[in-house]
Amino acid sequence: MAVVSTPATLERALPAMDNAEVLRIRNDFPVLNQLVNGQPLVYLDSGATSQNPVSVIEAEQEFYEQRNAAVHRGAHHLAVEATEVFEDARQTISDFIGAGYEETIWTSNATEGLNLISYALSNAALWAAQGRGDRGLRELALGPGDEIVVTEMEHHANLIPWQELAFRTGATLRHIPIDDDGSLRMDAAASVIGPRTKVLAFTHASNVLGIINPVQELTALGRAAGALVVLDACQSAPHLPLNVKELDVDFAVLSGHKMLAPTGIGVLYGRQELLDILPPFLTGGSMITTVTMERAEYLPAPQRFEAGTQRISQAVALAAAANYLTETGLDRIHAWESELGQRMVVGLEAIPGVRVLGPAAGRERIGLAAFDVEGVHAHDVGQFLDSRGIAVRVGHHCAQPLHRRLGLTATTRASAYLYNTTDDVDRFLEAVAGVRAYFRA
């Protein structure tokens, strides 16, 4: 029997990442080996969408070439094989995030996962009022007098679903404020989260500030209040080790396209005891036990929340992406990206007229930096960088309230990943240093 290395074993066996290794990794990503505007591409937009290694591309291609069929529905050979690789992918992702197999649900992206939770909770009130479902469902139902708590730094995907849940149920939406450098005001969190809090939803790592939030402190406040705790892990799962059980959250979401996988695939983790009693979000085939002309009975999770034909090839590719990250070593990736992030912040802070959002140099952050160039609109900054072969993100990054709190309407964001070198960062910094002179700002 072959010996399979665990993530911990791989971490111990491998040295810290360096530019030489990153250049070898870069060869696994075909899209990076091209010229943009006559210059080698520097891709610093992985916070929006990461690139795909050959192993991920081939995993999805192999599925279509060798075993394309509907899962869970056929007795023929291809259907059996398709079901096996589909469910093997679920097990791989469960292991990747430290969840149980039955607690891992496929979604299109993290946004769908958050909406799933939101609508399931609003349906809980309807089911409980009709005496339908498990007796514990009534405790999950929200109504007037209940509160939902988010933070001021949330991506719209982890804000608007909760606004709408408050609207549908009559609950009140509250938020934990940030201070001027973007850090959560934990003193305020202790007063905002209280006996009326039914849901506490927050991001693990900010897609604008780069801040890694104190998950366990926030979760402890949520637990003390008896609230459900929802974690947006979009900017953490691709970049640092994630164990949802150790973090003690009730739900967590992530998107595959931010962690080397294709678009159209995401994951919702939920505690088994919660998933099995929550009403489903989407309904139809493949998630039922019995159907009459009047009503239906639903399967337990995960199938309970997976109506219709699933994202089979994308799930297989996501599992390949998780294996790639595990084999490289998430601790090593996080350390390398932290180094790149610090290099970006130190360099940006040294450029006159540039304001960096989030923690100052020397404080922990993921490998991204959003910044404002005085006198130059973020879109102009992005186009200037693109003319030099450097891909970054511009706009409010789906975080308008956060930008408004910081007195801005838009910023430019550079976000690194495991395939970026220090030379990429230096080329980026050199280009930013020339922005104000070019626009005569």
Q: Which residue intervals of 170-256 are DSSP H helices?
A: 186-192, 215-225, 244-247
Across the range 306-329, mean pLDDT stands at 97
Band the pLDDT of 331: cuts 50, 70, 90.
very high
Task: Say what the pLDDT of residue 74 is.
Answer: 78
State percent of the chain over pLDDT 90: 92
**Higher pLDDT among residues 3 and 283, named by residue:** 283
Average pLDDT of the chain to the nearest whole number: 95
Q: Which of 328, 302, 304 has the alpha carbon at shortest distance from 315? A: 302
Is pLDDT above 60 for 5?
no
- For 115-150, write each residue's pLDDT tens digit: 999 999 999 988 988 888 877 899 999 999 999 999
Task: Say what the pLDDT of residue 13 is.
Answer: 60
d(CA 346, CA 441): 22
The catalytic site residues sit at: 398
Across the range 301-316, mean pLDDT stands at 95
Task: Say what the pLDDT of residue 6 is.
Answer: 41
Is pLDDT above 90 for 100?
yes
Phi, psi at 106, each rounded to 5° = -80, 135
Least confident of 84-88, 212-216, 229-233, 284-288: 284-288
| pTM to 2 decimal places | 0.95
Task: Say what the pLDDT of residue 17 is.
Answer: 97
In this structure, the dihedral spanned by the alpha carbons of residues 113, 115, 120 and 121, taken in order and rounded to 10 degrees, is 120
Q: Write down all domains in the chain, each with its CATH number in brackets.
A: 8-53+329-438 (3.90.1150.10), 77-326 (3.40.640.10)
- For 256-303, write each residue's pLDDT tens digit: 999 999 999 999 999 999 999 999 989 999 899 999 999 999 999 999
d(CA 148, CA 152): 13
d(CA 435, CA 229): 43
- For 420-440, write each residue's pLDDT tens digit: 999 999 999 999 999 999 999
DSSP codes of every residue in 316-338: HHHHHHHHHHHHH-HHHHHHHHH
Is pLDDT above 80 for 11?
no
Is pLDDT above 50 for 8?
no
- For 334-354, write each residue's pLDDT tens digit: 999 999 999 999 999 999 999
Q: Which amino acid is it at 270?
A: G
